[in-house]
Amino acid sequence: MKQVITLQINGQPREVTVEPRTRLLDALRDGLQLTGTKEGCGNGECGACTVLVDGRAVNSCLMLAVEAVGSAITTIEGLAQQGQLHPLQEAFRQHGALQCGICTPGMILAAKALLDEQPRPTRDEIRFHLAGNLCRCTGYQKIIDAVEAAAAALAD
């Protein structure tokens, strides 16, 4: 049974047609063409689909779109402001913290949730927070470097 719902995405109300079984991930990608959010496993294992729901990192493949009504959602498209990359995006670029890029939106959003909660995390804390985000390309070290650098940039 299709229905039109309104989701608050990156500060804007957006109407989208969904079924009860439509995952938040599909509402974003297929319904709203916000294809920055990626699907890896579809089972909560890889973190590629991570978005922020009310400021917290969530796997959008394990949430129904209808469950998200009434919550504030941030996707990777919401990070750059007036053409300026977010410091995390800038740091990933500077540190070569991405290769194929599939894990990157989820990594950056999981890192943003961490930095919003804890502005100067240790490297171990960064690892702990990103443990649910898999990367097949980079070997992770550069991702940790980038998050550390972004934390420093944000603190300035």
Partner 1 sequence: MLPFDYQRVETLAEAVAVLGQDPAGTRLLAGGTDLLVFLTDQKLRLGRLLDAKRATDLPGLEVNGALAVGPNVKLRELERHPAVAARWQALAQGASAVGGVAIRNRATLAGNLGTASPAADTPPALLALGARLELLGPAGRRELPLSEFFVGPGRHRLQPAELIRRVLLPAPPPRSGSWYTKLATRQAMDIAFVGVAAALSLAADGTVASARLGLGAVAPTPVEVDLTALLAGRRLDEDALAAAAEAAQVASSPIDDKRCSALYRRAMVGELTRRGLRQALAQAEAAL
Ligand X SMILES: Cc1cc2nc3c(=O)[nH]c(=O)nc-3n(C[C@H](O)[C@H](O)[C@H](O)COP(=O)(O)OP(=O)(O)OC[C@H]3O[C@@H](n4cnc5c(N)ncnc54)[C@H](O)[C@@H]3O)c2cc1C
Burial class (CB in 10 A: 0-12, 13-18, 19+), 34: buried
User: How many residues sit in the footprint of partner 1 (CB under 8 A)?
Assistant: 29
Contact window for ligand FES (CB under 6 A) among 13-21, 44-52, 84-92, 109-117: 44-52
C-alpha–C-alpha distance, residues 29 and 58, integer Å: 16
Identified binder of ligand X from the candidate list 15, 19, 45, 54, rule CB under 6 A? 45
Tokens of 58: 């969530």
**Residues 59/1, Cβ–Cβ less than 8 Å:** no
CB-wise, 43 or 82, nearer to ligand X?
A: 43
Residues in contact with ligand X, total (CB under 6 A)? Answer: 2
Q: Name which of 66 and 90 has its Cβ closer to partner 1.
A: 66
Interface with ligand FES (CB under 6 A), residue from 3, 15, 17, 45: 45
Alpha carbon distance 149, 154 (integer Å): 9
80-119 footprint of partner 1 as x/- string (CB under 8 A) = ------------------------------x--x------
1 contributes a contact to partner 1 by CB under 8 A = yes
Residues 6+ apart with CB under 8 A from 108: 76, 79, 86, 88, 89, 92
103 contact choice in ligand X, partner 1, ligand FES, none (CB below 5 to 8 Å, kind-dependent): ligand FES
Residues 114/121, Cβ–Cβ less than 8 Å: yes
| Site of interaction with ligand X (CB under 6 A) | 44-45
